[in-house]
Amino acid sequence: SPVVAVVSSAFLLVVTTAKALSLGSMPVLYCKPSADLASVGDCPFTQYARMAMEISGKSYVVKPTAKDAKPEWLLKDHGGSMPCLALSEAGDGAVSESSKIASEALPPTQEDTISMEAASTLFGAIAKFIKNTDDAKDADLKLNLDKALTTLEARLQQVTEGFLSGGTSLGLSDCFVATKLYVLVVAGEHFKNYDI
């Protein structure tokens, strides 16, 4: 399916191109850690920011940061919100919105904007369905999710070239959609036995 192709192409690109960089004068991306507190955690917002930065070729250092290890400036100026990209470990020029980090790294094309609008309800629908614990609400939440996927599928049918960005290379909308579909593929199957 085109949806699965977007997920596997875009997400695999980030996984296979992740760079091991040392701290220095490069921007630092603070993000939630995994259970080992040393690796990057499984956060779709961080994945979105990282994918855009990797595709654009931006250099940065990723710094998984536990709650109790967040710098004072991150807590004070950004409410501890991550991901947060700073020009230095002192917090210079910090931005803590994944959408802003991603769009500054990889500016959207007109096609990206149209595709992201088509997918604008997707993550909310995924989160509500997966997090729901009231079985009586599952059918309605699944229907809402299916509607969001149908809207995305219609957009995919309109794209004449390879990717949602409307071209032959990945763009911002591919990052936007792939990270959300990754959540659905992994968590949807695990928690709700949902398969796209």
Q: What's the pLDDT tens digit per position in 97-144?
A: 999 999 999 999 998 999 999 999 999 999 999 999 999 999 999 999
Residue with tokens 């990754």: 182
Q: pTM of the predicted model, to two decimals?
A: 0.83
As a whole number, mean pLDDT of residues 82-89 equals 95
- Which residue has better confidence, 7 or 118? 118
pLDDT at position 162: 74
- Tally the residues of the chain: 196
Residue 174 has pLDDT above 50, yes or no: yes
Give the whole-angstrom CA distance, residue 63 versus residue 70. 10
Residue 3 has pLDDT above 60, yes or no: no
Whole-number mean pLDDT of the chain?
Answer: 88
Please say whether the beta carbons of 119 and 175 come within 8 A.
no
Give the whole-angstrom CA distance, residue 8 versus residue 155. 18
What is the per-residue pLDDT across 144-159, written as a single tens digit (0 to 9) for each?
Answer: 999 999 999 999 888 8
User: Which band of pLDDT confidence, cut at 50, 70 and 90, is reported for residue 67?
Assistant: very high
As a whole number, mean pLDDT of residues 42-69 equals 95
Residue 177 has pLDDT above 90, yes or no: yes
pLDDT at position 1: 53
